[in-house]
Amino acid sequence: MGDLLTLAFTSFLVQNIILSQFLGICSFLGVSNKRSKALGMGLAVFFVITLSGVVTWLIYYKILEPGGLTFMRTIVFILVVAAMVQILEMAIKKFSPLLYGSLGVYLPLITTNCAVLGVALLNIQNNFTLTETLIFSAFTSLGYTAVIVVFSYIREQMLKAPIPEGFKGIPSGLIAASIMALLFKGFVGLI
């Protein structure tokens, strides 16, 4: 139990997927300029990563490994992720039009979000059990959501700041992300 708690904490804060693993940077910079967009993307990523993390784990250990097909994992995983995103999109559209309204536009973008495939591959690379996979996937994606939402607040404030013209937008965003990454390094002492 204690191990799982440590794992949850590590994946959420200490080894934050954006600020220390550099996965999902494209979407991090792309949609973090508005608060509502950041929250929508964050939640959509949370659903997809948690679901695809568990499904790819099951496929890897129940189908690929017994069949000696582990070398196919990259192709299989990306197809699973793409299919998962499609299914999730249809399911949300059918059962909760309200949720679809807020998440729908972000779902197609997630297939090429490297955080999703990254987490699926990390689960296998770290030899996690199914429970560990669930915890790791859920908390890693929550870490993504938390950082992207906090960052969107910072970027909205930065719009009001007198930044030199050449540094407006992405460059100043990257520098702000650097300061945030430095702060997150402080969490290392907690473990």
Positions that interact with other proteins (CB under 8 A): 19-26, 29, 71-75, 78-79, 82, 111-114, 116-118, 121-122, 125, 164-168, 170-175, 177-179, 181-182, 185
Q: Give CA separation, 68 vs 60, 65, 72, 75, 189, in Å.
A: 10, 5, 9, 15, 41
Helices (H), the chain: 2-9, 25-31, 35-59, 73-95, 97-103, 107-110, 114-125, 130-158, 170-185
The smaller minimum CB distance to other proteins, of residues 25 and 134, is found at 25
Q: Shortest gap between Cβ of 116 and other proteins (angstroms)?
A: 8
Angle in degrees, CA 12, 148, 33, rounded to 5: 175
Q: Shortest gap between Cβ of 26 and other proteins (angstroms)?
A: 6
The smaller minimum CB distance to other proteins, of residues 53 and 118, is found at 118
The smaller minimum CB distance to other proteins, of residues 97 and 171, is found at 171
Q: What Rg, from alpha-carbon coordinates, does the chain have? A: 17
The smaller minimum CB distance to other proteins, of residues 5 and 75, is found at 75
Q: Shortest gap between Cβ of 31 and other proteins (angstroms)?
A: 13
Q: Shortest gap between Cβ of 139 and other proteins (angstroms)?
A: 18
